[in-house]
Amino acid sequence: MGCGASTPEGADGAKPEKKAGSGDTAGSPGPDKFFKEVDKVKKKQPDNLCAKYLDKKYYSTLEGADRDTFYKCVRTGIDNPDSGMGCYAMTPGDLTKFKPFFGKVIGDYHKKDPKCALTHKNDWDISSVGEGGVLDLAKLGMAEPISMRVRVGRNLAAFNLPGAMDKAERIKFEQTMLPAFDKLIATEGYGGKVYSITPDFGADGANPNFIDDAKYQELVKKHVMFKDMDADPYLKSAGISSDWPFGRGCWMSDDEQKIIWIGEEDHLRIMVMKKGFLINEVFSELKTMLDLVETLEVCKFAKDDQYGYITSCPTNLGTGMRASVHVKIPNLTSDGTDAKAKEVAGPLGLSVRGTGGEHTPIGADGTVDISPRARLFIKECEIVEALYKGVELLMAAEEKAGKEPAPPPAAEKKADAPAASTAASPEPDDFFKLVDKVKADQPDNLCAKYLEKDYYASLTGADRDTFYKCVRTGIDNPD
């Protein structure tokens, strides 16, 4: 529409009454219109940090392309009121350019202090952590090898962040990375190959690394490739999943333990993943790979003076690191949900995810993905230490939960409380958080397709427990 940015100044050069950024543009709504929505979210979802710190006065000071970019950063939090963070940077410079907003969101999320002025420091020296740098899960009583993964998010300073990339830039980014992967492939101990789901390279023709859908699905199942980003509403309204699947793929080493994602939420997610007991081993192997990657000419990573490594999502800033293990906690998940596990893990600084990653259900056997929540204003070595100590405490809680008397059978519960969780079936709100994700991710899953919240909520006691037993498999196994 283009009607907001060009009101002429008065003859004396003074600013006119009406601010330049007061109307809608093609790329962003005017403040009045936008804040009608923002105010609703502020009221309904006080934990949505984006809505919490969106300020009409500040928004009104932004004009033209700046306001459009800022709107792209924050739109996801308003489109998706249940967001916890609710915003993503579009370019490496956005954190500085829009600091009056991002500074508060980041400070609140990472330090519960919107005024936080700390400066992040990276430190991978693990020697003083654990027993001389060794973090051995077997010492915590783990009998079977544990699936361990440590990843970092990294972005190239020379490109827009994924939310602002167009199709041509996504393809160019993938092509730019190919010589770097060639170097890894030629390095002893690495090898491997690139798997790409980019249908073609546009004007540059065929993509030599293209894999078909069956191979892609196989890699997703093995936790090697990332899921269909376009099914993630948070990424979608930030533009991060646009042009899917162009510019997306991964490199994986010969031993299938070293992986680099291309074109997910960050330009690169660099990780080591394997089954075993020594978390420090995965950590150190990642550091070695990262040092090698950083010597490659194209890999000039975006960094911020205060916030360290820049990532699309402010939750990942600083280290960009998520260190996780898949552990079985059947006692804490005996109701089929992660509600109790989250209750216990939260105060330990741990996040609980499903076995397919963020926004996926827990495993049918009670397996969950546990990782420290902190990424910024914490050292890399402290993250793996926090994972180890957190798992130790979580397993103690799991053991304790196994000794507690079993909850009364569902049939003994009051039949007039259909909305509450029973021993054997989750409450409708909790269950349908998962069901709705599966509905969105897997439209061919007939169980999810025909599960109705009202119907589920109408069932009580033993009937609801039995019904839940009938359908649980379809939600535990989205495919």
Q: Which residues bind ligand ARG (CB under 6 A)?
A: 76, 83-86, 234, 265, 313, 315, 358
Residue 101's alpha-carbon distances to 35, 42, 114, 376, in angstroms, are: 15, 15, 10, 17
Residue with Cβ nearer ligand ARG (284 or 355): 355
User: Which of ligand ARG, ligand ADP, none binds 313 (CB below 5-8 Å, type-dependent)?
Assistant: ligand ARG
Q: Which amino acid is at 432?
A: F
Residue with Cβ nearer ligand ADP (147 or 331): 147
What secondary structure does DSSP assign to 112-177, as a single string?
A: S-TT-----------TTSTBTTB-BGGGGT--S-EEEEEEEEE-BTTS--GGG--HHHHHHHHHHH
Quote the least distance from Cβ 276 to ligand ARG, whole Å. Answer: 26
Coil, helix or strand at residue 411: helix
**Distance between CA 439 and CA 467 in Å, rounded?**
18
Out of 223, 303, 342, 433, the residue judged to bind ligand ADP by CB under 6 A? 223
User: Which of ligand ADP, ligand ARG, none binds 151 (CB below 5-8 Å, type-dependent)?
Assistant: ligand ADP
Q: Which amino acid is at 198?
A: T
Inter-residue contact 368 to 324 (CB < 8 Å): no
Quick note: the x/- pattern for ligand ADP over 413-432, rule CB under 6 A, is --------------------
Interaction between residue 170 and ligand ADP (CB under 6 A): no
Coil, helix or strand at residue 207: coil
**Distance between CA 314 and CA 173 in Å, rounded?**
22
Answer positive or negative: Cα dihedral of 262, 107, 235, 341: positive
Out of 72, 170, 269, 464, the residue judged to bind ligand ADP by CB under 6 A? 269
Interaction between residue 147 and ligand ADP (CB under 6 A): yes
Interaction between residue 472 and ligand ADP (CB under 6 A): no
How far is CA 37 from its chain centroid?
Answer: 25
Out of 42, 353, 413, 472, the residue judged to bind ligand ADP by CB under 6 A? 353
Quote the least distance from Cβ 313 to ligand ARG, whole Å. Answer: 3
Coil, helix or strand at residue 34: helix
Interaction between residue 379 and ligand ADP (CB under 6 A): no
Sheet holding 367-372, edge to edge: 193-196, 249-252, 258-262, 268-276, 146-154, 321-328, 367-372, 350-353
Task: Please name the residue that has the structure tokens 């009104």.
Answer: 60
User: Which of ligand ARG, ligand ADP, none binds 86 (CB below 5-8 Å, type-dependent)?
Assistant: ligand ARG
Interaction between residue 193 and ligand ADP (CB under 6 A): no
Quote the least distance from Cβ 461 to ligand ARG, whole Å. Answer: 34
Quote the least distance from Cβ 327 to ligand ADP, whole Å. Answer: 9
For residue 168, give both structure tokens: 């041509």
For residue 297, give both structure tokens: 């000419």
**Distance between CA 425 and CA 423 in Å, rounded?**
6
User: Which of ligand ADP, ligand ARG, none binds 148 (CB below 5-8 Å, type-dependent)?
Assistant: ligand ADP
Residue with Cβ nearer ligand ADP (364 or 459): 364
Residue with Cβ nearer ligand ARG (302 or 447): 302
**Distance between CA 461 and CA 159 in Å, rounded?**
55
Residue with Cβ nearer ligand ADP (167 or 342): 342
For residue 212, give both structure tokens: 């078909």
The dihedrals phi and psi of 195, each to the nearest 5 degrees, come to -115, 120
Which residues, numbered 292-331, are part of the site for ligand ADP (CB under 6 A)?
A: 322, 324-326
Interaction between residue 287 and ligand ADP (CB under 6 A): no
Interaction between residue 369 and ligand ADP (CB under 6 A): yes
Residue with Cβ nearer ligand ADP (20 or 177): 177
User: Which of ligand ARG, ligand ADP, none binds 353 (CB below 5-8 Å, type-dependent)?
Assistant: ligand ADP
Interaction between residue 258 and ligand ADP (CB under 6 A): no
Closest CA to 316 of 381, 399, 374, 253: 374
Quote the least distance from Cβ 261 to ligand ADP, whole Å. Answer: 7
Interaction between residue 172 and ligand ADP (CB under 6 A): no
Inter-residue contact 309 to 319 (CB < 8 Å): yes
Inter-residue contact 191 to 254 (CB < 8 Å): yes
User: Which of ligand ADP, ligand ARG, none binds 45 (CB below 5-8 Å, type-dependent)?
Assistant: none
Quote the least distance from Cβ 365 to ligand ADP, whole Å. Answer: 15
Name the residues that contact ligand ADP, by CB under 6 A.
Answer: 147-149, 151, 223, 269, 273, 322, 324-326, 353, 355-358, 369
